[in-house]
A and B are shown apart, each in its own frame.
Chain A
């Protein structure tokens, strides 16, 4: 039997007995950023493919959520910083090896782009909107002219934003649970499905709703595959990753993960969406709300459990 004791000094509750440095702010931001990324990607993709008539809500209405989500996400990130007044140091250099650095730059692009996208569609929500100043009107005409370019920027940076929230965690090899390259695609898929769910909630058009239920179903399938794939990866890896997986396979996070993320967040909404596509009448809000809830729980559980997983020596 091996027993390890800190005889002196390190009794710091931020790192002992397990890391406790990131609290609600980080998973909340990862969720909000991921969902905003999903909304923007879907809007941009369908705009580029010229589906503005069919998917009116997804392209023109749902994106109004994105800047709100991003602003609250950024606020959460800011609250998390311990040396707040130095936050601008993020923008004094680009460090490609640090996902947090290029993530910060991505946010710098995506946030204004999401505001511009909304500004271009603001008359859909407030028909009597008046820009008042001529230079604002000129800006609107300018961006309207290059709307396709804007959509491409939004699509690419949206994808980077969605995947970076996972890569951010996977870059930490000190925390075996996070240290898997599946984390990026998993978080991207989860963000996209939350984005599709947002349109499911907001759309009044039956054809659009059906299409988004189908999209959501496909993404849920991908997510389930990625989750299984992730655990296969852990179990075939080193001892520390086997131990990380065991937290979810009988350990302390088993119930929360499988019930809240997999059953409530993926399986039940998938089932409800299948039933709905088969013409059963299901209350419209249940499945998208569950998807969004599952997406939020996934971030919380992964961020908290990752801090518990560690190397032993």
Chain B
């Protein structure tokens, strides 16, 4: 089992519904977020190109955060999902410094928090909150080992990229281009 997510940069309009859905679903404290929207503008007027990406933890196959964590609080859950165990986390910040995507933040309660791919939802057969609410249906989630999952099907059909694969992280968040 290998959970992954694909985001269609050609369909995403940057409405931030995914961000709000995540904050609501996961009770993310005010001023923080587990997912965010990046808009990249390239070129000079009038030749402009824009790419909008809904970003979050890449649930890397070779996670620097899991490697750097001194207590084992950051760990791989079933399907390669990277999770933080609150009661093992000492809040040292090593994982935050180790993440090239800056996907983690220190929760005001002390432990480090991040995207869980809505582990509590997918365990029960639901989709992550961000995928569920997307008004343009630009996000796909599923198991890469299952050839018929939403994400496998769309990755077969479309060209895609991952973010800084050269950092050696093996990111599992795919952007359709």
Contacts and interface: CB of A to CB of B under 8 A. Distances in A.
Interface of A: 1-12, 14-16, 19, 21-22, 80-84, 86-87, 89-90, 92-93, 95, 97-101, 103-104, 171-175, 238, 307, 310-311, 313
Contacts of B71: 86, 89-90, 92-93, 95, 101
Interface of B: 14, 16, 19, 31-33, 35-44, 52, 64, 67-73, 87-94, 96-100, 102, 104-106, 109-112, 163-164, 166-168
Given A7-B38, A12-B33, 7 more contacts: A2-B40, A7-B37, A9-B36, A21-B96, A86-B111, A89-B71, A311-B100
- Closest CB pairs A-B (n = 4): A82-B91, A9-B36, A83-B110, A83-B91
Given A21-B97, A84-B110, A311-B164, A7 B16 contact: yes
Nearest to A99: B68
Contacts of B90: 81-84, 86-87, 89-90
A4 B89 CA distance: 32
8 contacts: A5-B38, A15-B104, A21-B93, A82-B106, A82-B111, A86-B111, A90-B70, A95-B70
B162 to A, nearest CB: 10
A174 B19 contact: no
Nearest to B68: A98
A173 B167 contact: yes
Name the residue in A92, A95, A103 with the highest tally of chain B Cβ atoms < 10 Å from its Cβ.
A95
B91 A3 contact: no
Contacts of A173: 64, 98, 100, 167-168
Given A19-B97, A173-B100, A311-B100, A6 B40 contact: no
B116 to A, nearest CB: 16
A15 B69 contact: no
A86 to B, nearest CB: 5
Contact of B41 (A2, A83, A89): A2
Contacts of A98: 67-70, 94
A8 B14 contact: yes
A174 B100 contact: yes
A241 to B, nearest CB: 12
Contact of A104 (B14, B68, B70, B163): B70
Contact of B91 (A2, A15, A84, A92): A84
Contacts of A14: 96, 105-106
B98 A172 contact: yes
Contacts of B91: 81-84, 86
Contacts of B87: 86, 89
A8 B32 contact: no
A310 B97 CA distance: 10
A1 B97 contact: no
Contacts of B163: 313
B42 A2 contact: yes
Given A5-B41, A84-B110, A171 B68 contact: yes
A263 B71 CA distance: 40
Nearest to A303: B97
A82 B99 CA distance: 18
A11 B164 CA distance: 21
Contacts of B168: 173
Contact of A307 (B43, B97, B164): B97
